[in-house]
Structure 1
Amino acid sequence: MGNGSTPPSSSLPRRARLLGYAGLLPQAAVVALLASGSTWWRFAALSLGYAYAAIILSFLGGMWWGLAASRPDRCPAWVWPVAVAPSLVALATAIPWAVGAAWPGPSLALLGVSLLLSPLVDRRLVAAGVAPGWWMSLRVPLSIGLGLLTLAVAAMG
């Protein structure tokens, strides 16, 4: 691989692995801050934990859209509306905050569950030949990691 050749489609690129796992650090920091018991940072930590989960869920939809757009010949019709759904879910979870209802616990729980379920879409994208073969080796641990961290933030809220 050091000769400039591209890795085979079944080989997880090193940068994707490193940056992907680094993406768990913001939510892990929120969990650590909440676990510290600091009341000074509590609302800020909950807000940032919510925002990060909502942003990443929207990002997943964008990745699905990008994969579909890069392989329209292989893209099943269901991908397009499914790729839009994460942004709509993220937006819907902001409604309670906007109207002063119970927040962020229920919104964080919905985001956490959505993240945990997202590999179901990824698996179908790989099966359709839209996502690379290494996709699941990254997506599953990241979705489980961020989903569980987000649920932990919800439980601490």
Structure 2
Amino acid sequence: MNRKSQATARPPALPRLLGYAGLLPQAAVVAVLVLGPARWHFSALSLGYAYPALILSFLGGMWWGLAARAADEPPAWVWLAAVAPSLLALATAIPWAVGATWPGPSLAALGVSLLLSLLVDRRLATTGRAPPWWMALRNPLSIGLGILTVATGAIG
């Protein structure tokens, strides 16, 4: 399957529904930050940080699973890419843990990382390690969550 047909292949209904539902928590955080009372802002920011950090780690787990199910020995970059998101998510917690400026820089790092995760997804798709519909789902989800996460940091 060529790159264009991979990007337009329709994902199965359940992963598509659950994937798009996964944008709701961060959209709710943005709504609370814009419309909610000030007393809710710290809680919203905390959850708005935790959720994309978890999702970034989840992406690494998906990449690990794709590598592990491969019939051949995956190249080393796949394994390295699979562990990087969890380490990056952990690193973004350091400012909070030590009382440094938080959450703006951490949210920016998470948001940009989610956007950049598409580079790994695209490589997995073009090398045949991901299903044909992978990019049709990953593009809107990573772009959506990445933008919502950056917006959370900008608003908060």
**TM-score, length-normalised on structure 2?**
0.92
1:98, distance to aligned residue in structure 2 (A): 0.2
1:37, distance to aligned residue in structure 2 (A): 4.7
Instruction: State the match for 2:127 in structure 1.
Output: 128
Q: 1:1-157 alignment to 2 at 5 Å? A: 10-73=9-72, 75-157=74-156
| 2:106 counterpart letter in structure 1 | S
d(CA) in 1 for partners of 2:10, 2:73: 21
1:12, distance to aligned residue in structure 2 (A): 1.1
Segment drifting more, 83-92 vs 31-40: 31-40
Identical positions, percent: 74
1:11, distance to aligned residue in structure 2 (A): 3.9
2:125 and 2:132 in contact (8 A); partners too? yes
1:127, distance to aligned residue in structure 2 (A): 1.2
1:18, distance to aligned residue in structure 2 (A): 0.3
1:116 and 1:144 in contact (8 A); partners too? yes
Tell me how many residue pairs correspond in the alignment.
148
d(CA) in 1 for partners of 2:11, 2:140: 13
Higher relative contact order (CA 8 A, sep 6+): 2
1:17, distance to aligned residue in structure 2 (A): 0.5
Inter-CA distance 72–107: structure 2 relative to 1 (3 Å threshold) = farther
Q: Deviations over 1:81-106 (max 9, x none)?
A: 11000000000000000000000000
d(CA) in 2 for partners of 1:56, 1:82: 15
Structure 1 runs of 4+ with >3 Å offset: none
Flag the structure with higher helix content: 2
d(CA) in 2 for partners of 1:50, 1:32: 15
d(CA) in 2 for partners of 1:120, 1:74: 21
3-state SS in 1 of match to 2:124: helix
3-state SS in 2 of match to 1:41: helix
d(CA) in 2 for partners of 1:116, 1:15: 23
| 2:14 counterpart letter in structure 1 | R
1:74 and 1:128 in contact (8 A); partners too? no
| 1:76 counterpart letter in structure 2 | P
3-state SS in 1 of match to 2:39: coil
Inter-CA distance 36–11: structure 2 relative to 1 (3 Å threshold) = closer
d(CA) in 2 for partners of 1:54, 1:72: 30
**TM-score, length-normalised on structure 1?**
0.91
d(CA) in 1 for partners of 2:74, 2:139: 21
